[in-house]
Amino acid sequence: MGTPKFSVPILETLVKSSYEVSCVYTQSPKKSDRGQKLNLSPIQKYAESLKLNIRNPQNLNSEEEFKFIKTLDPDIVVVVAYGQLISKKILDLPKKGFINIHASLLPKWRGAAPIQRVIMNSDAETGISIMQITEELDSGPVMKQIKIKINDTITAEELSNNLSKIGAENIVETLDNIFKGKPNFTEQNHKVASYAKKIKKSEAKINWCRSAKEILAKINGLNPNPGAWFMYKNTRYKIWKGSISEKKGLPGKILNNNFIIGCNDKSIEIIEIQKESKNKLLLKDFLIGINFKQGDLVE
């Protein structure tokens, strides 16, 4: 059970292993922003290319899906960023339960957006937790954790790719240990749990009164989606990539001819930027087409 690009390498590894993938569950196709075209999830596209059995119910916990999963008689279910809560009735069906590959070091950053939140919080490390699914969100016992260090330049997309690869590299060994009767699950310390709430679009607007470190963390954590942005002359601009400059000035003020923008302490030097309805550009190309003055304020 999975939906986004993050899930694909794990499914690919399972397909190439000795384990039989009897069915793939993924979220229903979403309508595109423009027009009525349906966008299939990355997992569905990959599963269709291999002609795997696919299910994408609006409600996983319906009686119809319960009966269908029961007929599959699964040994185990692997969940990777599927996107629906799973009822106890369905959790009880597989002989060896459900396991989940979660993109954080549980109990830290349970929930929908662990990759974005760990970057926005400027954490020094994160990782993968392979855990047993229980009724409460991301609270089941953990079988294995793999830690990695992260720096202040990594984006959510880059970190997602790294963690997905780690999950794929460890899933078969995990299943082997479970089927050999050697699982070693450890209960989480629920008292220190934190939650990675789903990213709201309203969070993506840059507040230039914050520190440069916080703003850069937002830029990186929200790259590529939804993207950290600001307004200038009634037009929205999304910053894809930036760095911290030691230059100082008023928050939101354009400090020089290189469009460096002041923060609460230091400033942000833009490396890659995108004007709304336009393509993203490196700063040197962006500066050719924008009329601005040093001292102008952005918001």
* Interatomic CA distance for residues 178 and 75, integer angstroms: 11
User: Which of 196, 224, 239 delimits the end of a domain?
Assistant: 196
Q: Are residues 29 and 154 in the same domain?
A: yes
Boundary-marking domain end, from 196, 225, 250: 196
Cα 290–chain centre separation: 33
Instruction: Convert the pLDDT of each residue in 24-70 to its tens digit.
Output: 999 999 876 666 678 999 999 999 999 999 999 999 999 999 999 99
**298 belongs to a structural domain:** no
Last residue of a domain, one of 162, 196, 230: 196
Q: Distance between CA atoms of 32 and 40, rounded to whole angstroms?
A: 10
Per-residue tokens: 218: 């937002």
Classify residue 274: in a domain, yes or no.
Answer: yes
Looking at the fold, whether 157 and 253 belong to one and the same domain comes out as no
Q: Are residues 124 and 148 in the same domain?
A: yes
Number of domains in the chain: 2
Give yes or no: residues 59 and 121 share one domain. Answer: yes
The answer on 125 and 44 residing in a single domain is yes
The verdict on residue 294 lying in a domain is no
Task: Flag whether 218 is in a domain.
Answer: yes
One domain for residues 105 and 42: yes
| C-alpha to C-alpha distance for 91 and 217, rounded to whole angstroms | 37
SS3 category, 143: strand
Instruction: Identify the three-state secondary structure at position 124.
Output: coil
- Kindly report whether the global pTM for this prediction surpasses the value 0.75: yes
- Closest listed residue to residue 123, CA positions, set 146, 144, 151: 151
For 6, 47, 159, 220, 283, the CA distances from 155, given in Å and listed in that order, are 14, 27, 6, 4, 18
C-alpha angle 130/134/137, rounded to 5°?
80
Q: Are residues 121 and 147 in the same domain?
A: yes
Q: Is residue 190 part of a domain?
A: yes
Q: Which of 172, 162, 92 is nearest to 127 (CA)?
A: 162
Size of the chain in residues:
299
- Rg (C-alpha) for the chain, rounded Å, is 22
What CATH code is carried by the domain that includes residue 282? 3.10.25.10
Can you say whether residue 115 is alpha, beta or left, with left for phi > 0 and alpha for psi between -120 and 50 degrees? Answer: alpha
Q: What is the pLDDT along the chain (299 residues), one digit of tens a residue?
A: 999 999 999 999 999 999 999 999 999 998 766 666 789 999 999 999 999 999 999 999 999 999 999 999 999 999 999 999 999 999 999 999 999 999 999 999 999 999 999 999 999 999 999 999 999 999 999 999 999 999 999 999 999 999 999 999 999 999 999 999 988 999 999 999 999 999 998 999 999 999 999 999 999 999 999 999 999 999 999 999 999 999 999 999 999 999 999 999 999 999 999 999 999 999 999 999 898 999 999 99
DSSP state at residue 53? -
What CA–CA distances, in Å, run from 288 to 122, 279, 299? Answer: 33, 14, 21
Residue 107 lies in a domain: yes
Residues 151 and 275 in one domain: no
**Has residue 293 been placed in a domain?**
no
Q: At 153, which CATH number?
A: 3.40.50.170
Residues 146 and 171 placed together within one structural domain of the fold: yes
- Do 265 and 160 sit in the same domain of this protein? no
55 and 191 inside one domain: yes
Residues of the domain holding 252:
201-288
Q: Same domain, yes or no, for 55 and 166?
A: yes
